[in-house]
A and B are shown apart, each in its own frame.
Chain A
């Protein structure tokens, strides 16, 4: 019965969407904001990557919202999955078969050791060139998080990532994002309005505070996801 109900719902939704798309004027976009941003982003923000100037300047508050969503998700995962004194599991819960708490094999360890510095360079490049080339804080931060957590996964016993350091980086990056936004609010009049000299268009030191904001976003995303994967992975090792 539930299957038929959901089938009915999905077909009704598809019909609804088809009717809506049938009425849309195909070819001439009704999007006016996008064209306005495309015209004025170069002079107002000075970032060569227009997506970045939308994400951090025109819609900076949304980025702060995304960061807080990520923060909430990472905190809930840490709260539920890490072993603390609050959620010590009762003994009768059936333990899953523990496969490997020792180090991985030769190939995995050496491959990760080889890739790790390259991943760091790529991640930092993507973060620091977020206002020039595609990519930015989120993508580079994910790459950094993957690099550190791979190291932790192949060598579970050796604590390669300290949880306190991760928490400190995350808190510092989030705080600096908000502080930059507040400084812009009090000096320029708008929250997260681009400040400082725009510099030469297309060079690394350009677009004012945008690279600083993306650095904060990248460090925060990287630290959060690394902490999340750490929380997912440590439980197996410790008990």
Chain B
């Protein structure tokens, strides 16, 4: 069990760092929801299924939806990689 938790924590850390370093905003939102999904696994392993369901529904589902809507409203919703990312960087 300790190795599963270590693996999940490693996935969480990697996803959390990926949120910072990814240049594509949509990929960053997806990475942020991966953090919540991995946290859900930890809650389920700790025998807290209620909290795990809340984390999956709110952390992985609803908050990424709200972040995605925010990206769309701010004009950062760009699926192509390089050419548009540079223009997106000018905004911030």
A residues at B contact (CB < 8 Å): 49, 51, 96-100, 126, 134-136, 138-139, 142-143, 145-146, 149-150, 153, 225, 229, 232-233, 235-236
23 contacts between A and B (CB under 8 A): A49-B50, A96-B73, A99-B77, A126-B53, A134-B53, A135-B49, A135-B50, A135-B53, A138-B54, A139-B50, A139-B53, A139-B54, A142-B54, A142-B58, A142-B61, A143-B61, A146-B61, A149-B65, A150-B65, A153-B65, A229-B65, A232-B69, A232-B70
- The yes or no answer to B66 lying at the interface (CB within 8 A) is yes
- The yes or no answer to B74 lying at the interface (CB within 8 A) is yes
Contacting residues, chain B, for A229 (C-beta < 8 A)? 65-66, 69
Contacting residues, chain A, for B54 (C-beta < 8 A)? 138-139, 142
- The chain B residue with its CB closest to the CB of A150 is B65
- The chain A residue with its CB closest to the CB of B56 is A139
> Which secondary structure dominates where chain B touches chain A?
helix
Number of A-B contacts (CB under 8 A): 55
**Are the CB atoms of A233 and B69 closer together than 8 Å?**
yes
Per-residue interface assignment for chain B, residues 51 to 74, with 1 indicating a CB less than 8 Å from any chain A CB and 0 otherwise: 011100110011001100110111
- The chain A residue with its CB closest to the CB of B61 is A146
Closest chain-A Cβ to B55's Cβ sits at a distance in Å of: 9
Contacting residues, chain A, for B72 (C-beta < 8 A)? 99-100, 236
Known: A98-B75, A126-B53. 4 other contacts (CB 8 A): A134-B49, A139-B53, A142-B58, A229-B66
**Measured between alpha carbons, how far is A236 from B53 in the docked complex, in Å?**
31
Contacting residues, chain A, for B50 (C-beta < 8 A)? 49, 51, 134-136, 139
B residues at A contact (CB < 8 Å): 49-50, 52-54, 57-58, 61-62, 65-66, 69-70, 72-75, 77
Closest chain-A Cβ to B60's Cβ sits at a distance in Å of: 10
Contacting residues, chain B, for A136 (C-beta < 8 A)? 50
**Measured between alpha carbons, how far is A50 from B49 in the docked complex, in Å?**
12
**Are the CB atoms of B75 and A97 closer together than 8 Å?**
yes
**Are the CB atoms of A96 and B65 closer together than 8 Å?**
no
Contacting residues, chain B, for A99 (C-beta < 8 A)? 72, 75, 77
**Are the CB atoms of A235 and B53 closer together than 8 Å?**
no
**Measured between alpha carbons, how far is A106 from B49 in the docked complex, in Å?**
36
Contacting residues, chain A, for B77 (C-beta < 8 A)? 99-100
**Measured between alpha carbons, how far is A99 from B32 in the docked complex, in Å?**
23
**Measured between alpha carbons, how far is A190 from B49 in the docked complex, in Å?**
30
Select B57's contact among A49, A143, A232, A233, beta carbons within 8 Å: A143
Closest chain-A Cβ to B84's Cβ sits at a distance in Å of: 11
Contacting residues, chain B, for A134 (C-beta < 8 A)? 49-50, 52-53
Contacting residues, chain A, for B74 (C-beta < 8 A)? 96
Question: Which 4 pairs across A and B sit closest by C-beta, in order of nearness?
Answer: A134-B49, A142-B57, A97-B75, A96-B75
